[in-house]
Structure 1
Amino acid sequence: MSESLGIVTIDTGFQRPIFDAAYLVVDNGRGAFIDCGTQHSIPALLAALPAQGLTPADIDWLILTHVHLDHAGGAGALMRQLPNARLVVHPRGAPHMIDPARLVAGATAVYGAEEMARSYGEIVPIAAERVVIARDGHIVPLGGRPLLCVDTPGHARHHLCVWDERSRSWFTGDTFGLSYREFDSARGPFILPTSSPVQFEPEPLKASIRTLLASDPEAMYLTHYGRVGDVQRLGAELIEQIDAMVRIGQAQAADGERHARLSEALRALYTERALAHGSPLSEAQIHAALAVDIELNAQGLGVWLDRQTERSVSTADATG
């Protein structure tokens, strides 16, 4: 757990240490959590309160950047522990928090019931009257510290990022990519984009990154993992890699073993960049640390390619 400017970084414990963060923002004796991890993360979040002079009743808000389960799986169970809190969520994400049945069914189909229980725990619905829908530009009042919610599609269409003027920082969820601390070098943090297995939208994602950078922020608070500075460099590197991912996808579009080829090419891209960055990890360690993310990015890239093909066919049919 780390703390600065009224912002506490909490390791949710999801999967491994220093992998998945939630944040506690504090002002004038009131608090807001931004993202929450899974049901298994709740003890860590509640344990962060006493050091800030807070109790669960002092938490006014739980703000979700998006509803993927490593960010939001514990939201319903956590809200049961926060008697005065309301949930703030993107309009596209709100229905899944009120009735998580489709979210649970989709994740169970991917991971299986046993893994769902092990990694995520119970997904609890949230009463509609406790849910606040945050459209683009919505302001969450936290004491005297307004938190601005901005629509940031690309990683997911139900994604928002949160601007904190006090720290001149964004809470970025997955929009500003992944930066694991073990990759840090003398050059600072290393970063790469992240896709969900069902969605990769490169142009909206690049536009969202540019939106974040336009505020000239001091720092980004990533879910994976923690605070990073040097944001203009990192943003440029993210956009470079998104473009590289598109080129990789286009090169493998017709390959009969497309997924394996995409995974291999992404592994090579990220390894080359990590080593050039001066990462202290060996190639084998880089591959191990990024194995899950390479798989997810390859899946997302494949979905994007399929949708590009569908659009081309639809256009041809319409004009033919």
Structure 2
Amino acid sequence: MSSVHGSATERPFVSVIVPAYNDEEGIRRTLESVTAQTYPNECYEVLAIDNNSTDDTKAVIRGFCEQYPQTVELLVEEQKQGPPAARNKGLEHASGSIIAFIDADMTVDETWLESLADTMQRNEWDYMGCNVEITLEDGRETLTGKYNQIFGFPMKKYIENAQFAGTGCLVVRRTVFDEVGVFDSRLEFSGDREFGDRVYRAGFDQHFQPDITMYHPARASLRDMLAKSFRNGRAQTYLTEYDPDRFGRRSIAHPRNYLPLHPSYFYKKVNRETGIATHEMVLIYLIAYLSKLCVAAGRIYERVTDRGR
């Protein structure tokens, strides 16, 4: 791994942290993307953390380490833990003054690192979320995929209303971690939100950069989408019970948890998209309602099981 932290042009050294678990094709796409940057090779490193995968994820990462020995490094978690612990392992080995996070299966433009380093330096920002575009892969243009594309990752809303950016598109200065600490590895869910809240409470400004786009494949399967919604519901309750003073939410018995989306809100949201027929809009509305019910089910499950917390 290069020990050069910057160049004659005073470019900041950037550490890219990529956790992965049982996603050999996803990590392949991501590493192909982040090793094809216009940013100088001597000014960044890629730390890929395998979270004790049981498939060929480690082998894929090793292949990139052999191809890019000065850029890519494999780190291994011997026991599977949550994503916060994997990202913390990356932080332990990171050399950069700027830390950029990306999830396995996401891709970026070749100017991604150049743009984020320039934005952070020029504006003197400490914490930034990038735009996430949901992409529909060829042959997987399902109604579920369209729903995911429409409602995907509203990162601007997350930053402005909940004071966090998802860790799949997060950029943070190392000095922020030095002051507020790393991700809470005890959390199975919502490590990004808990960390963002700490950053906000410590007085750091948080910013959204719509001009830097990262790409995430849509969940085309209804089963996968509803499973994700169920996990989101678990995450909401998990975080509430973890720290109720910081993350209190309305009761799981509140009727709004189970009512369908307001039709006018849904129509305005979906109507921004072109090429959606009326019958598709009705079906997407049903998917949205099923997703909301799965969030509620996840909250109930987490509350009932409790798991000794």
TM-score, normalising length from structure 1?
0.37
Indicate the structure whose relative CO is greater, using CA pairs within 8 Å and at least 6 residues apart.
2
